[in-house]
Structure 1
Amino acid sequence: MLNKAIEKLKAEIDGNKNNPYIHVVGEFLLQHLQDNPSNAEKVVQVGKTIGQSLNEMKKAAEKKKVGNCAVLTDQEGFKVVLEYFGIDAAVSTVGVKPQEHIVQAPIAQDKKTNIEFNVELDF
């Protein structure tokens, strides 16, 4: 079932090379299936497509519309996609990638006095 779901998603992605949104959502679903293979049967449902999940995202964004602008966060958008396919997912974990470890550069020190920062103008 997992292979059938992957084939279905890849076929839709490949058939819509000019639509970057189908590619992004399709890649998200492929990753989701790798992490949750038991959801494959929900993705292969007849009539359920990545394109239609984008329409559901559009409807959800329009509910939050301010003026002419309607935006969803990654989490909100991916949650809508999973719900469209009938997959339960917590808002706090959907589409969230672990934060990369950020390494700060060492602070340059004054070699003469070993002071990290000096605001004096007279030496």
Structure 2
Amino acid sequence: MLTKAIEKLQSEMTKNNNNSYIQVVGSFLLQHLNDNPTDAEKIINTDKTVAKSLEEMRKVAEKKKNGNCAVLTDQEGFEVVLKYFGIDAKPTVIVTKPAQNVTEKPKSVTAAADFDIKLEDLL
């Protein structure tokens, strides 16, 4: 059953090679299956696809819409995907911290400021 679920996901990812969203969600589900092989039977369901899980994410994001912007965090998005497939689990998502405020100027900026030339110098 695990093999069939992996093949199903890989097939959809291959057919939609130019859709980065299907690639990301498909990769997440493959990793989830690697960690939770018993969930394979839920992913095999022919009525459920990665593309349709993206539609579910869109619907959830639409409810949080602020103006013309609707965004979900990775955690929220992958929770929607798992729920869509009928998997009762919290997704394991590695969250990276945003860059801290940098008070030091990059060296390339200070080096460029030391270079001063006028058009008259070149004539």
Please report the TM-score for the alignment, with normalisation by the length of structure 1: 0.75
Quote the residue 2:31 is aligned against.
31
Give 1:97 deviation, angstroms: 2.4
Does residue 1:97 correspond to 2:99, yes or no? Answer: no
Give 1:17 deviation, angstroms: 0.8
Quote the residue 1:44 is aligned against.
44
- Going by fraction, where is helix more abundant, 1 or 2? 2
Cα distance, 1:62–1:41 mapped onto 2, change above 3 Å: same
Please report the TM-score for the alignment, with normalisation by the length of structure 2: 0.75
Does residue 1:88 correspond to 2:85, yes or no? Answer: no
Quote the residue 1:58 is aligned against.
58
Name the CA distance, whole Å, in 2 between partners of 1:95 and 1:77.
12
Give 1:18 deviation, angstroms: 1.1
Provide the aligned C-alpha RMSD in A: 1.2
Name the CA distance, whole Å, in 2 between partners of 1:77 and 1:89.
13
Task: Show structure 1 runs of 5+ residues with no match.
Answer: 100-123
Give 1:95 deviation, angstroms: 3.6
Give 1:46 deviation, angstroms: 1.6
Matched AA of 2:93: V
| CA offsets 1:16-64 (integer angstroms, 9 cap, x no match) | 0110000000000000000000000000002100000000000000000
- Give me the identity figure in percent: 66
Name the CA distance, whole Å, in 2 between partners of 1:78 and 1:98.
12
Name the CA distance, whole Å, in 2 between partners of 1:23 and 1:47.
19
Matched AA of 1:35: D
Q: Secondary structure at the match of 1:34?
A: helix
Number of residue pairs aligned between Structure 1 and Structure 2: 96
Name the CA distance, whole Å, in 2 between partners of 1:2 and 1:32.
11
Quote the residue 1:5 is aligned against.
5
Name the CA distance, whole Å, in 1 between partners of 2:93 and 2:54.
19
Name the CA distance, whole Å, in 2 between partners of 1:61 and 1:47.
22
Quote the residue 1:102 is aligned against.
none
